[in-house]
Structure 1
Amino acid sequence: MMKLSDLKNWTDNWEQLRIALLEPTVDKALLEASLHEARTKMPVPVLWLLGKTQAGKTSIIRALTGSEAAEIGNGFQPCTRSSRFYDFPAEVPVIRFLDTRGLGEVSYDPDDDIHYCESQAHLLVAVMKVADINQAAVFDVLHTIRRRHPEWSVLIVQTGLHELYPGECGHVHPWPYDSDPLPETVPVDLRRAIQAQRSALKQLPGTASIRWVAVDLTLPEDGFEPPNYGLEALWQAIELLLPLGLQHQLSGDKEVHDLYARAAHQHIVGYALVAAGLGALPVVDLVAVSAVQAKLLHSLALLYGQRWDKSTMTEFLGLAGAGIASGYLARLLSRAVVKVIPFWGQTVGAVWSASSSGATTYALGKAAIYFFARRKDGLNVDPEALRRIYAEELERGASILKDRLQGKFE
């Protein structure tokens, strides 16, 4: 039988957690300043895409993000006269794509855009359609950038493979384009075009690596199987050159195929990264992290078509149980304490606090997915399953954040 003191502790924990997640009180100006500072701690990786018009840059963005929105181009926002950036997801991005105007266009001088993009990018991705033999404009820009940044790695993506397939030929399986020389299973015209582009850049200045990936990113109705041919090789190249675990952050577990769950996962990771950045700041995260988590839960409710009000929050916390409530509050308070300890608080304590903030946010989001999905389908929510999900995802969230946190607060 539950003791009166246990009941009081549970009631107190539940009420504090309910207020923290449903009614966070934080000065908006302070929160905005904190979010800006947090982003400097946990910057969003920027993939700079350059190439000629119709080279396939938008198809690459669709494939990497898993976004099927035909109007993805409308999500781009101008950042210079001729360059645009695309944040994904828009509200709390996990990744940012930087797109320059099509190289080689008449009356377009890319110099200003190049200087801006150089200051923003974490990875340069050049995109070339294999059937287009005139890539001089792309080659010139790559030479210019590598002369100024010889230490920069470059990823070059060759696209539109099927345009050089003979007759009714389909994709070659298994994917063979990492071999040198290319095997004879690759159609001869395609093999020559791919090799001609690669040979033209053998003398590219610089000491850092150049990686080539050949892909064919089509729509399902185009009839090529699979539509995202070479995508796994593209991911492997990105992870090798930019080891931040982006594929896991954008795609989640391989077994997740539900569109709601995929979209929710990407939002959860974005909010978890913001919370991790806030978690490293002194004192302010006590309220700011709660505000970010409250916004996450509200966003997930909207995604699943559910209301997020006192009644829903009461049900969610009641199913979550005292363990989640007390553990959450203990982590929140201990984060604020460890960071004020001289030296330790600014190094090891900051890392622990950031990891704790991000992992807690991630676990709350994953538990909320289960909760909202069951409610959406008119099914009962199993409290034991909800608690198990939270506990498992707490560890997984810390694992996802590990690469981003490494070296950030030293």
Structure 2
Amino acid sequence: MSLLDRVYRTLNPAANPSLEKAFQRSEAHLPTLWLLGKTGAGKSSLVRALTGLDRVEVGAGFRPCTLTSVRYAYPTETPVMAFLDTRGLAEADYDAREDLANCERTSHALIVVMKAEDPEQSQVLAALRQIRRSGKVREALLVHTGVLQIDDVTERERCIARNEEQVRQNWGQVDAVAVDFGDLDGRPYGLKALTQKLAERLPILGELFEHRAHADVEERNFQRLKKEVIWYAGAAGAADAIPAVGLVAVPTVQLKMLHSLANQYGLAYDRRLLAQFAAALGTGFGVHYASRLGLRQLLKLIPVVGQTVGSASAAAASYGFTYALGRAACLYFYRLSRGESISAAELQALYKNAFNHILPVARDEKNL
């Protein structure tokens, strides 16, 4: 049996339990946006504004996570991040420790959601004090919601300043953004500024929700598939964080991704297509890939160092490599479906640019 045949046979996920474990580990460690605020402050509206989903989709997507919180993995079928909504603040005995422990495993950002015209924030402020004392979360973003519901601009600014002062007294210096998710010519107010602020704290949000001008049809096609590519990248990174697992699991996840992407472009995924894509990337790419994967596995086996620096570096590298491979595959499959040629130099340049582009996200998730 040829090497290509052996590689191709690993595509069946049912026959490869490492694939399922990789996705399970990835979903258990999703980067999480922790929303802290009173009921009615606009937390669900914030999720809807970011994701573009409707009220029913978002409402049905939240699942109990702790006694006082619910979690929404996004997207539902191929989750790459999560929203944690704290809904137990109205209870006098709310204790943030369980929510802190839940977020401790993940790369996360704390978002304090306050309705601008609501001065009674004692429950939120008490939770903030406890979270600050834990020392596990050092930075928060304050989101003022419903700002356009206050018609008088002077009064609006006074309400915003009041809530910011309350947060500063109980948390310290905090960055803030003002939004309104009601209809403003059909568009939420302040959404772009909010997305930029969130992306500074959780880089994957920039990849998912920032709207960029796209140069051509191929780029727009990739944007529609990006969430799926990131999903596979997260699974590869999660698998490669475990010693002696990545050598098998990472290529399996990547091959499954190629299988799925080929189908998205209407191509039959078989040995011939795999061979064509490998040839298009160039022989040097294959040698570099194999050597880098093997080196990462060796580093993870080094006592102490391998379990910290080695595993974290391997996870970030596999995340980035998988994303870049998916980006290159999308371009190749698009050109192939249209009968257009592509050079190895062009494909490799795109791969390199994609890897460098996604690196901040990959590093942010290094604790997978």
* TM superposition shift of 1:195: 2.8
- For residues 111 and 394 of structure 1, the distance between their equivalents in structure 2, rounded to whole angstroms, comes to 46
When residues 366 and 110 of structure 1 are mapped into structure 2, their CA distance, relative to the original with a 3 A threshold, is farther
Q: What per-residue deviation string (whole Å, max 9, x for no partner) do you get for residues 273-332 of structure 1?
A: 332232232222111112221332344345556554445434433433433333333333
SS at match of 1:116: helix
CA contact (8 A) 1:100 1:113 kept: no
Give the whole-Å Cα distance in 2 for the aligned partners of 1:13 and 1:390. Answer: 24
- Alpha-carbon distance change, 251 to 295 in structure 1, aligned in 2, over 3 angstroms: farther
Q: 1:191 aligns with which of 157, 176, 191?
A: 157
CA distance in 2, matches of 1:16, 1:321: 20
Q: Is the 8 A contact 2:37 2:124 kept in 1?
A: no
Determine if the alignment matches structure 1 residue 280 to structure 2 residue 263. no
> Which of 154, 165, 185 pairs up with 1:223?
185
In the TM superposition, what are the counterparts of 1:229-378 in structure 2 within 5 Å?
A: 229-238=189-198, 242=201, 244-251=202-209, 254-256=212-214, 260-301=221-262, 303-304=264-265, 307-342=268-303, 345-346=306-307, 348-374=309-335, 378=338
- Residue 52 of structure 2 corresponds to 68
Residue 250 of structure 2 aligns with an amino acid whose one-letter code is V
Residues 198, 290 of structure 1: alpha-carbon distance in 2 compared, 3 angstrom cutoff: same
Q: Which has the larger radius of gyration?
A: 1
2:193 matched to 1:209?
no
Whether the 8 Å contact between 1:13 and 1:326 is mirrored in structure 2 is no
Counterpart of 1:177 in structure 2 is none
Aligned residue pairs: how many?
355
Question: Given that residues 27 and 79 in structure 2 are in contact (C-alpha distance below 8 angstroms), is that contact kept between their aligned partners in structure 1?
Answer: no
Instruction: Indicate conservation of the 8 Å contact 2:115/2:144, yes or no.
Output: yes
The 2-side partners of 1:154 and 1:48 are apart by: 10
Counterpart Cα distance in 2 of 1:324 and 1:200: 55
SS at match of 2:142: strand
Residue type at the aligned position of 1:58: S
Q: CA, structure 1 residues 54+310, in 2 after alignment: closer, same or farther (shift >3 Å)?
A: farther
Query: Do the aligned partners of 1:249 and 1:269 also contact (CA within 8 Å) in 2?
Result: no
Whole-angstrom CA distance in 1 between matches of 2:168 and 2:351: 50
User: Among 105, 110, 115, which residue is 1:129 paired with?
Assistant: 115
Q: Distance in 1 between matches of 2:5 and 2:173?
A: 55
Q: What CA deviation, in whole Å up to 9, does each residue of 1:97-147 have, x standing for no partner?
A: 01233865xxxx37468553232234332222324x3x53x4323224414
Shift of 1:357: 2.0
Cα pair distance change 1:253/1:350, threshold 3 Å: farther
What's 1:390 paired with? Answer: 351
Give the distance between the partners of 1:349 and 1:53, measured in 2 at CA. Answer: 43
Segments of structure 1 that go 5 or more residues without pairing to the other structure are 1-10, 167-186
Task: Show CA shifts across 1:231-288 (max 9, x none).
Answer: 3443454455x4x523444357944486643342233233323322322322221111
With structure 1 as the length reference, what TM-score do the two structures score? 0.70
Secondary structure of the 2:102 match is coil
2:145 to 155, 159, 167: 159
* Paired position in structure 2 for 1:172: none
State TM-score, norm by structure 2.
0.77
Structure 1 equivalent of residue 73 of structure 2: 87
Amino acid at match of 1:223: D
SS in 2 for 1:93: coil
The amino acid across from 2:124 in the alignment is: V
CA distance in structure 1 between the partners assigned to 2:313 and 2:40 by the alignment: 45
Cα distance change, pair 342–373 in 1 and its aligned pair in 2 (3 A): same
- CA contact under 8 A between 2:335 and 2:342: conserved in structure 1? no
C-alpha distance in 1 between matches for 2:305 and 2:340: 46
SS of alignment partner, residue 213 of structure 1: strand
The answer to which of 254-263 and 208-217 deviates more is 254-263
* Cα distance change of structure 1 residues 148 and 354 upon mapping to structure 2, 3 Å threshold: closer
Cα distance 1:73–1:368, how it changes in 2: closer, same or farther (>3 A)? Answer: farther
Q: CA RMSD in A?
A: 3.8
Q: Which runs of 5+ in 2 are unaligned?
A: none
Matches within 5 A, 1:172-191: 187-191=153-157
Aligned pair partner of 1:140 in 116, 120, 123: 123
Q: Could you say which structure has the higher helix fraction?
A: 2
| Structure 1 residue 339, shift from structure 2 partner | 3.2
Equivalent residue number for residue 48 of structure 1: 34
Counterparts of 2:254 and 2:315 in 1: how far apart (Å)? 14
Change (3 A) 1:86 1:58: same
Return the alpha-carbon distance in structure 1 between the equivalents of residues 96 and 34 of structure 2.
10
1:41-76 CA-to-partner distances (Å, cap 9, x unmatched) read xx3232221334443223322444xx3232333322
